[in-house]
Chains A and B, each alone.
Chain A
Amino acid sequence: MNQLKKQPVTATNIPDHWFKQVKQDESQAEAVYRPSLSYWQDAWRHLLKNKLAMLGLVFLILLGFMAIFGPIFSPYEVNQADLPNQYQPPSKKHWFGTDALGRDVFTRTWFGARISLFVGLMAALIDVVIGIVYGGISGYKGGRTDNIMMRIIEILYGIPYLLVVILLLVVLGPSLTTIIIALTVTGWVGMARIVRGQVLQIKNYEFVMASQSYGTKTSRIIRKHLLPNTMGPIIVQMTLTVPSAIFAEAFLSFLGLGIQAPYASWGVMANDSLGAILSGNWWTLFFPAFFISFTMFAFNVLGDGLQDALDPKLRKSR
């Protein structure tokens, strides 16, 4: 500071010792200082910012946890009838009250969650597998194969989904397996369409062409290049398939074609208690109905959030 007072430094007389030579380190020129984000990390960061989607995700994780471990917290069995204690309102003894047969609604809700989530997840999973294979082949092969496969899809798409499901269940008889089969018989069509559209688009990109020119096998190109790039829309579609399968199962329960005793899904529980609500026993309907609705809500907002997070193009417009 003293020096500055004696001799004011201007642009022309900066003393040499103020300068320090910085050597350029050629070896570090290309170094990346911030950790690079993969597509999934980036998507995850975006998802974390979406409060509604996170609410959905947290709810679903908790729900999954309770579906697995919930019954442990309860001293009652699922189908343990206790007729003298029918229609007990929620209390310390029965957290969610009891139903027409005196069964503990708390316990039944988590068992119902197991069935409903199982039906939803299995239906979605089978849809994905069939959809990926069918859509992948159709999109990758292109040309005449694609044309024929798409005509088949067009025809299947016109078949009313729930009507066929009803028809199949009437004939096959309702059980856990037949419900899942019936839900997936025409359910995979939507997924196949999405996969095909994606594959059709991506297979024309340069990196695929490069891979092809190396002589990579078709199966490897599909596995390593096409599928990872179609994962985004597939996951979004899955999160939307699960609630629609859960809804379909609840709808079928309503027609008497749902899961049969001794199992009980949320749909069965809600349907059993539709009459009870009129006599004021609201809790028998409320808990299954709440969980159906909130699960659908959670999957829907999570699906929306994932769609935003996984599709970089969508982000700009929001």
Chain B
Amino acid sequence: MLRYTLKRLLVMLITLWIIITLTFVLMVSIPGSPFNSEQSSNETVQANLEKHYNLDKPYVVQYLLYIKSLATFDFGPSISQPNQTVNDLLGRGFPISFELGIVTIIVAVISGIILGILAALRHNGIIDYIAMGIAVLGISIPNFILATLLIQKLAVDWELLPVATWAGPEYMVLPVIALATGPMAIIARLTRSTMLDVLTQDYIKMARAKGLSPWKIIFKHALRNALMPVVTIMGTLLAGILTGTFVIEKIFAIPGMGKYFVESINHRDYPVIMGTTVFYSAFLIIMLFLVDIVYGLLDPRIKVHQKDGE
């Protein structure tokens, strides 16, 4: 298990390094200086600005400085809002995005698993068709369209829930539904197919034969094994939810990280785009790493494999 963890850790660090390097190369390869836009006027100002941001130094030095600043969790300045750094934006926006993301994951996992189990237990029954119908719709409808429909129907037409911003639990309902439907659908389909597979296994028949209650069989024996694939795709789902927050936060005017990120793209505020991308990537990669570790802890085969290897 320790070897496995160390190996994953190494892969994680290399991936991070590649992203950081890629970001740097792309930043350098943008034609012109970031200060070439209409705001800057004379050459002295520009030269001073470049000096301030170390842009006059050779690329290698810039690269090392960049890595150094990232290692100390300094994600760089913002150009469109000169008084702010990416760290300020992260400090303000990230907690909100994180809250949205966590609630979304919890909702998606719980509802997805319940739908999947129901569908598997009533295989080819009405409940199965309804659950899979919801799942197919959830996969097919892009979240920004779902968000718009939800606002139109629930908030504007029926006035049940607030339209936008982030001021309390009731403001969370629509964005979370819009964001969680896709992952929920994927989890539901996956849970259903693995549950169907598991339920035909001999040890389930055995459990039935020895007279265990159906609930105990489902939760103690079947679900545990059926959940392994769900853990496997958690990383992908996290990435999807994270990128989903860009869109959802923009639509619902939630002052989270995603909204700042989209604004920085629209303003072509390169340092913020780069800084945020590195931050997001690091966050995701660390999450993937944690998912891998959890998977390693859950999956006995990895432990067995390690024993054989040593």
Contacts and interface: CB of A to CB of B under 8 A. Distances in A.
Interface stretch (B48-56, B208-216, B277-285, B296-304): B277-285
A285 B242 CA distance: 25
B3 to A, nearest CB: 15
Contact of A277 (B152, B265, B270): B152
Contact of B156 (A251, A257, A271, A278): A278
Given A170-B268, A254-B144, A159 B19 contact: yes
B93 to A, nearest CB: 16
A300 to B, nearest CB: 6
Interface stretch (B9-17, B72-80, B167-175, B217-225): B9-17
Interface in A268-318: 270-271, 274, 277-278, 282, 285, 289, 292-294, 296-297, 300-301, 317
Tell me if A's interface is mostly helix, strand, loop or mixed. Answer: helix
A53 to B, nearest CB: 12
A293 B141 contact: yes
Nearest to A296: B140
A162 B22 contact: no
A168 B265 contact: no
A307 to B, nearest CB: 10
Nearest to B14: A155
B234 interface: no
Contacts of B29: 171
A181 to B, nearest CB: 13
A254 B251 CA distance: 10
A254 B15 CA distance: 28
Contacts of A168: 26
Interface residues of B, number: 47
Contacts of B114: none
Contacts of B14: 155
A170 B273 contact: yes
A160 interface: yes
B265 A301 contact: no
Given A167-B22, A170-B268, A251 B144 contact: yes
A166 B140 CA distance: 22
A171 B28 CA distance: 10
B144 A270 contact: yes
A167 B26 contact: yes
Interface residues of A, number: 38
A160 B280 contact: yes
Interface string A145-179: 00000010011001111111011101100000000
A2 B242 CA distance: 90
A255 B265 contact: yes
A162 B244 CA distance: 10
A297 B11 contact: no
Contacts of B206: none
Contacts of A251: 142, 144, 243, 247
A317 B200 contact: yes
Interface in B51-67: none
A170 B264 CA distance: 10
Contacts of B197: 317
B268 A160 contact: no
B254 interface: no
A170 B145 CA distance: 24
A254 B247 contact: yes
Given A255-B265, A294-B140, A167 B273 contact: yes
Interface in B252-302: 262, 265-266, 268, 270, 273-274, 277, 280-281, 284-285, 288
Contact of A158 (B12, B152, B268, B270): B12
Given A256-B266, A293-B142, A162 B19 contact: no
Contacts of A296: 139-142
B136 interface: yes
Nearest to B19: A159
A247 interface: yes
B243 A162 contact: yes
A250 interface: yes
A166 B11 contact: no
Given A158-B15, A159-B15, A160-B242, A293 B145 contact: yes
Contact of A301 (B136, B156, B196, B280): B136
B6 interface: no
Interface string A240-267: 0000000100110011110000000000
B150 to A, nearest CB: 11
B144 to A, nearest CB: 5
What are the 7 A-B residue pairs with the smallest beta carbon separation, nearest first?
A: A297-B140, A158-B15, A296-B140, A162-B243, A289-B145, A171-B26, A293-B140
19 contacts: A162-B243, A163-B243, A163-B284, A166-B265, A168-B26, A171-B30, A254-B144, A254-B247, A255-B262, A270-B144, A271-B144, A278-B151, A289-B145, A293-B140, A293-B145, A296-B141, A296-B142, A300-B139, A317-B196
Given A254-B250, A293-B140, 4 more contacts: A168-B26, A254-B144, A255-B247, A270-B142
